[in-house]
Structure 1
Amino acid sequence: MKKIIYTITALFSLSLASSCKKYVDINDNPNAPTSVDASTLLPPILAGMARGNWYDSRYIGQYAQIWGAPSANNVWDQEGYVPGSDSGGEMWRTIYFSLGQNVTLMQQDAEKKNKYDYLGVSWALRAWGWQNGADEYDYMIVKEAYDPTKLTFNYDAPEVVYAEVVKDCQKALDYLNLAIKTDGLTVGPDLAKGDYMYYGDRAKWKKFVYAILAQNMLHFTNKASFKPDMVKKYADSSFVNNADNASVQCTGSQSGDANFWGPTRVNLPSFRQSDYMVKLLDGRIFAGAAAQDTLADPRLPLLLARSKDRAFRGVVAPLGDPNTADANLSIPAMAGATTANSATASAKYIFNDNSRGVLMTYSEVQFFAAEALFKKGDMDGAYTAYKNGVAGALDFVSNPPIASSLTGTQKYISQAAIDAYMTGPSVRQTAAQLQLSDILQQKFISLFVWGAPEAWSDMRRYDYSTQYFQGYVKPTTIYADNAGKQVYLLRPRYNSEYIWNVPALKLIGALEPDYHTKKPWFVLP
């Protein structure tokens, strides 16, 4: 783990303190305090959360066939990995480095100064990290994670990690409620100083916590302990519209503060949209082959790129781009961008430099509830949540979040087009018509680009079944080390675990070349 660097530094500092105590005392620097105000720690932590989610999404997006490489036999399109590389380990880095001791320092400052809202936010961040980490890596280091006396760390079973999510969420809610009770304010003035997600709005932070709880319980669908009513309860306490979405401000003034999917960062041009994604949006999956183009989703030209002949095509993993005579354009396609680095260009969807970095949305949470209620057998409740999810996703694409506001200023889809889609054959018109595949595949669309980890979680929970993911095609060539099996895990981060923590990796089987094909705990019955 990266934290080893901190441990070594701490031990070195202790050595200096014992042998040169007087020297250290007289050279204390008031401009470099040993304690840091919570408001200065929160912004880089939020930026780290977004980074962790997005960096890994590039590879997870290939696993889930959201996009693929333009050339044939890309290792990620084959559901493999790159040995000796940190690729796919960014969420690991986020949990133990970007959040890591920074969250601990934030908690220490908040405890000393009775900043209950910062304490609440800190536990929300911890919960979000454990949830995403468990979904991607399965085994995680929880109990020993931030122990400065250790140089190697034991892994905890995944059920421990998921239980930690719930525990931390409850702490977050307790502290946020205490903050509101203490001063009677919904928006905390001190929290607003460092909060580039909700600008001090404690009530919205509570909604974010409930969204994490809903996601946590939803991922238990294959287990006897799954409680669909709890998913619905948490969803009802969570986001009520897209203004509540969890997203991080990106100013787009330069590469360091630009949206990951914007033109300045140039992170997506090497990918091509998948054939599966095209079929979901052009009408073929939901409305049949004859519906292609005539009943296309109004989001299609906003999310995907046209080829030179104006047709929409996608790549099939791991074959690369088959259209050699008229190659697919890279994604995203910019609308109205005048320069490659234009932060003010009118980009489609969230492909602008100053588009907010999205972490969770209202539509996603509604699809949580829809799936849970469908599995319970409450078809009317499932249908209502499903329709809310589709409508919320359309609204999100039509009015994407830009800059520091939580909503955009330009409608990219007309209300007439939205109404036509909502009443058309791609959206089920009665509860009796609703199938689980409708919920999962509309959710898949709603997660495009920013939500690849959750899309992959859904695919794994249902074992990549074409019954529920009807346009999905298993790669024709699977990575050799997979032994014919499909991918189910990301391997822990190479430059921490595989360099410093090998004995612990051996205990969980992570040294095996096919470890990434092991089904995670949340997928198993």
Structure 2
Amino acid sequence: MRKNTYIAAFLLGLSLATTGCKKYLDINQDPDTPQNPDASSVFPAMLAAIPRGTQYDARYIGKYIQNFSTNTANNAWDIHNFQGYPTATDVGGDMWRQVYFGLGANLNYIINEGTKKRQWDYVGAAYALKALMFQMCTDEYGEVIFTEAFKENTSVFKYDTQPDVYRGVDSLCRLALANLQRTDLNPASSPLSKGDYIYNGNTALWTKFVNGLLARNFHRTTNKASYNADSVLYYIDRSFASGSDDFMVPFDASKNDDSNFFGTYRDNLGTFRQTKMIVGLLDGSLLAGSTTFNNRDPRIKHMLSTSTDTTNGNGGYRGVDPGVGETNTLNSRTAVPWGDSLYANPSSTRFDPTKGKFLFKDQVVSPVMSYAELQFMKAEAAFKTNKTLAYESYLKGINAHFDFINRATFPRSNKVIFNVTPISAVERANYLASANVKKSGGDLTITDIMLQKYIALWGWGFYETWVDMRRYHYTDIDGTTGQVVYKGFVIPALPAGNNGKLANRIRPRYNSEYVWNLPELERIGALAPDYHVKEMWFSIKD
């Protein structure tokens, strides 16, 4: 990171105001661009910036976890090929950009200004966003800059280990909770509701969100002797109580920058196709062992796209394998994510709220954390010691995802997710009674939990799914079934430079680290050709 780039454009006035131009600025104030903006005017931009990091880099993480694959053969990300000294590109560096530049010191500004004005609700919410972004950052890159993240007057920043960053995220969460629970707010200051379009200033919901972040943080270490399932359960029980608590970023879709990155207007999924893995999880073949209609998940018609040719035995749902690309022809090709029987974008470069499907519309939410996700996490945490609780949470997770798809209204009038009509009560009951869903805690396996969680996070929870897959090393065996946990996952034809390993991390952003911070990259081994397959600390068993 360069020493002067941590200040976002809309805060540039802060540095100018300290120069010899102060008098000039004092007599030429622009009310539309205040020199010391209130937290309420900065905070909305911070919320809008979250999808910038998550959705941009999801193009690559989504291929690692086989949510998507490319419709042509040998795509580098499909085959986990990102070794060697990187070229001058920031591909895979958008989360890094958002943590250190997009949100970065702007969140610090909200915290500092909010503290001066006793805007403890803004301070708490800003700490929550810092915790979220640093957690995702270390989950993606491994060792990252934390303690020196916003150190001034230097161009070389020390990297911290993952355990240190995890502890730092925990501390940020504690600060968030402490401030969100304060009642001595300055009544003259702008309330959080003025700048918060996620929870409309409801600090109780922000508190639940922070507890969810703590649950994520504790649950990362399932492979460690220090893992404490009780802590995970404790924070989940204090987090979301239903899907109405979900943290979702909405889009107005009035211009490019406030339109969903995955929507038709922005045209960023043109070569992306659903994989055989997600098709197999939803058509009955992987979970029930049969694609007969009774075993077909009713969510499939809302989440995936069908080809024109529906004669393949599962209703026409097709997918591609990573690195192989499209092998079908004509009307049997895998459809684009934006709709059934579509093989091209239906409305590129023009806003059309009627076009698109599922989470791939111009004006549809980008989820960040969901009740369903937390229930599956709870099921996994409880699995070894309390099968009854694990099974109860497993069923709650499935039903919560059905509710998520069926939801009738979203923030800021965002479009619904379901396709034409919601999933009916009969369809849901039939699915729960099918062979896809286990009927008791005694029959439940880790595979059941993780595959249902995979379905519930498909199309948005890319970071969480990648963490999960790496915790299970992609191909770990379920001790109960004797089969791999992630049934349907295909190991692509890996390049020689991977040494037979799948990707475990993405390299730090080129346009700051490989240009300005090479000594630190050399110290942590990031110049090695196979750095991208180096196992993460959280997934190493001890």
Q: CA 1:440 to 1:184, structure 2 compared with 1: closer, same or farther past 3 Å?
A: farther
Shift of the alpha carbon at 1:83?
Answer: 3.6
CA contact (8 A) 1:140 1:156 kept: yes
Spell out the pairing of 1:387-402 with structure 2 (5 A cutoff): 387-399=395-407, 402=410
Shift of the alpha carbon at 1:478?
Answer: 0.9
The answer to whether structure 1 residue 427 and structure 2 residue 437 are counterparts is yes
Which amino acid is 1:426 matched to?
Answer: N
**Matched residue, 2:480:** none
- From 181, 184, 193, the equivalent of 1:182 is 184
The answer to whether structure 1 residue 473 and structure 2 residue 490 are counterparts is yes
**Matched residue, 2:514:** 498
CA contact (8 A) 1:36 1:109 kept: no
Equivalents in 2 of 1:407, 1:426: separation in Å?
Answer: 29
Shift of the alpha carbon at 1:398?
Answer: 2.1
Give the fraction of aligned pairs with identical amino acids, expressed as a percent: 38
**Matched residue, 2:313:** none
**Matched residue, 1:459:** 469
- From 403, 409, 422, the equivalent of 1:412 is 422
Q: CA 1:17 to 1:346, structure 2 compared with 1: closer, same or farther past 3 Å?
A: closer
The answer to whether structure 1 residue 140 and structure 2 residue 153 are counterparts is no
Equivalents in 1 of 2:77, 2:89: separation in Å?
Answer: 13
CA contact (8 A) 1:68 1:274 kept: yes
CA contact (8 A) 2:307 2:341 kept: no
Which amino acid is 2:405 matched to?
Answer: V
Shift of the alpha carbon at 1:390?
Answer: 0.6
Shift of the alpha carbon at 1:105?
Answer: 1.0
Equivalents in 1 of 2:228, 2:201: separation in Å?
Answer: 32
CA contact (8 A) 2:3 2:154 kept: no
The answer to whether structure 1 residue 382 and structure 2 residue 377 are counterparts is no
328-337 or 422-431: which moved more? 328-337
Structure 2 alignment gaps of length 5 or more: 311-315, 476-482
Q: CA 1:132 to 1:58, structure 2 compared with 1: closer, same or farther past 3 Å?
A: same
**Matched residue, 1:291:** 291
- From 288, 306, 312, the equivalent of 2:317 is 312
- From 498, 508, 522, the equivalent of 1:482 is 498
The one-character-per-residue Cα deviations of 1:391-422 (angstroms, maximum 9, x if unpaired) are 00111112276451589597521111111112
DSSP 3-state at the match of 1:197: coil
Which amino acid is 1:107 matched to?
Answer: I
DSSP 3-state at the match of 1:285: coil
**Matched residue, 2:376:** 367
Shift of the alpha carbon at 1:470?
Answer: 1.1
Shift of the alpha carbon at 1:49?
Answer: 1.0
Shift of the alpha carbon at 1:34?
Answer: 3.5
DSSP 3-state at the match of 1:96: helix
**Matched residue, 1:439:** 449
Equivalents in 2 of 1:13, 1:45: separation in Å?
Answer: 18
**Matched residue, 1:30:** 29
The structure in which a higher percent of residues are helix is 1
CA contact (8 A) 1:334 1:351 kept: no
CA contact (8 A) 2:65 2:465 kept: yes
The count of aligned residue pairs is: 514
TM-score w.r.t. the length of structure 2 is 0.89
The one-character-per-residue Cα deviations of 1:362-399 (angstroms, maximum 9, x if unpaired) are 1001111111111x321011111111101001111122
Shift of the alpha carbon at 1:79?
Answer: 0.5
Shift of the alpha carbon at 1:269?
Answer: 2.5
Equivalents in 1 of 2:248, 2:490: separation in Å?
Answer: 32
The one-character-per-residue Cα deviations of 1:200-224 (angstroms, maximum 9, x if unpaired) are 1111111110111111111110001
CA contact (8 A) 2:357 2:417 kept: no
CA RMSD of aligned residues (A): 2.7
Structure 1 alignment gaps of length 5 or more: none
DSSP 3-state at the match of 1:162: helix
Q: CA 1:37 to 1:229, structure 2 compared with 1: closer, same or farther past 3 Å?
A: same
CA contact (8 A) 1:349 1:398 kept: no
Equivalents in 1 of 2:527, 2:242: separation in Å?
Answer: 44
Q: CA 1:74 to 1:124, structure 2 compared with 1: closer, same or farther past 3 Å?
A: same
CA contact (8 A) 1:35 1:105 kept: no
